[in-house]
Chain A
């Protein structure tokens, strides 16, 4: 086993363990902190794939901005483990069984796919993930969606203010 494989499996184990802890922790603040751990592990995967721009954007936007927004809202509502709503145990069991069935069906589908056999993702080399190449493509071929996304942000901002306003 070389270094890349060890890093891949340890990051995957960290991400899946943290994702499960997001579900099982009773306190919503702990869920947010575990979700930040998932995002850090996914950023590590991006670095392993040499997608450096996406790794940094993932950390800044997701772990930095979005999760702070979640923490703000949770603290604004003063949520804690005591007031946490509970579901019946059979509802939980039904959810786990249906999610597990989804996983089993798709895993068996991927196992049978002959198109995927022998294909491999290029690790740690290849420079399409660098800011230089992504920026060139973003401001030449994808400049219209880029500008439209600014309009989307403006409308989302207006919408959030209008919805969040008192009556």
Chain B
């Protein structure tokens, strides 16, 4: 499969995530759109890793080029899990203080 197809697909998912962050006001949905963007990047990293692996296999049949990309995706998932736990705790605290998840209430730094 040509690498451009994967790039277009990941760009589409990433743009949908950006549009979600810009258009929704529910803090949880904004957070889910950030997860969507992370996943688009993960998919593209795996596709690039397989692209470089395919190129290295032509010269050396036992090459392990591309392992780094897939391990990087693994570490992104680790960081995303930690981020979600802290972020949801922050959203719960915000709901406890304002009784809403509307991000427009978070404007105290504006003035």
**Chain A, interface residues (CB within 8 Å), range:** 35 or more
Q: Which residues of A contact B (CB under 8 A)?
A: 4-5, 8, 12, 15-16, 19-20, 22-23, 28, 31-32, 35, 38-39, 42, 45-46, 49-51, 53-54, 57-58, 61-62, 65-66, 69-70, 73-74, 76-77, 79, 83-87, 91-92, 94-96, 98-100, 102-103, 106-107, 110-111, 116, 119-123, 126, 128-129, 133-134, 137-138, 142, 145, 149, 152-153, 155-157, 159-161, 163-164, 166
Least CB distance from A144 to B in Å reads: 12
Least CB distance from B15 to A in Å reads: 4
Q: Which residues of B contact A (CB under 8 A)?
A: 1-9, 11-13, 15-20, 22-26, 28-29, 31-33, 35-36, 39, 42-43, 46-51, 53-55, 57, 64-68, 70-71, 73-75, 77-86, 88-93, 95-96, 100-102, 104
Decide if the interface of chain A is mainly helix, strand, loop or mixed: helix
